[in-house]
Amino acid sequence: GESVGLHLPTLSVQEGDNSIINCAYSNSASDYFIWYKQESGKGPQFIIDIRSNMDKRQGQRVTVLLNKTVKHLSLQIAATQPGDSAVYFCAERNTGGFKTIFGAGTRLFVKA
Amino acid sequence: DVKVTQSSRYLVKRTGEKVFLECVQDMDHENMFWYRQDPGLGLRLIYFSYDVKMKEKGDIPEGYSVSREKKERFSLILESASTNQTSMYLCASSGNRGSNQPQHFGDGTRLSIL
């Protein structure tokens, strides 16, 4: 079946460095992509989204890149802080439907 | 900001009990969802609703039912709880179908069935 996956289950970075979290998707019909952050004991929190007619979108310290040719999505976090430590999920959806497919998640550790 | 509130953070019930998990959203969203989250399995969709009194099965509806009597409230019901339903349950809501809007989640209910 179609799925959203992540290349790395864990990522460890030094405080102040940039983090890059990668995600592959397989449904070519997906046209909307979302990144979530989930801290321990909390629900997933929306970070940033991107539509398939874009290849880059920036937020506050975060950038999402979309490469439709290779079906790849990435989340870049600039100047990573201890508060960024969490599990990050990518998700995809076909906006004609209801179903959102979530990746398994990558755990980001930030070393002080 | 969107607020999705789940009535309990932690819940302990016994096998065979009927269990109700409640979720309320304050953004007038049409769509509401129930997921369970288990280590190594990620988020799995149990049921969703796109309107009052409407419901659709997700990927793992067996052993569950739902109720959407009011737009802001979506209830998940475990008809006869079993130990394999011990999990983290997450409620989410989103705007109109066809719109590019993310789902917003509550903080979850960690349910233990003994």
Q: What pLDDT score does B19 carry? A: 97
Least confident among A23-27, B43-47, B69-73: A23-27
CB spacing of A98 vs B90 below 8 angstroms: no
Q: What is the pLDDT of residue A7?
A: 44
How confident is the model at residue B36, as a pLDDT?
Answer: 96
The whole-angstrom separation of Cα A62 and Cα A21 is 11
Q: Percentage of residues in chain B with pLDDT exceeding 70?
A: 96
Mean pLDDT, residues A8-25? 91
d(Cα B33, Cα A30) in Å, to the nearest integer? 19
B106 → chain A, closest CA residue: A43
Query: What's the gap in Å between the CA of A16 and the closest CA on chain B?
Result: 28
Backbone angles phi, psi at A85, to 5 degrees: -60, 120
Q: Could you say which residues from 27 to 46 on chain B have a Cβ atom under 8 Å away from some Cβ of chain A?
A: 31, 40, 42-43, 45
Residues of chain A found within 8 Å of residue B45, distances taken between Cβ atoms: 99
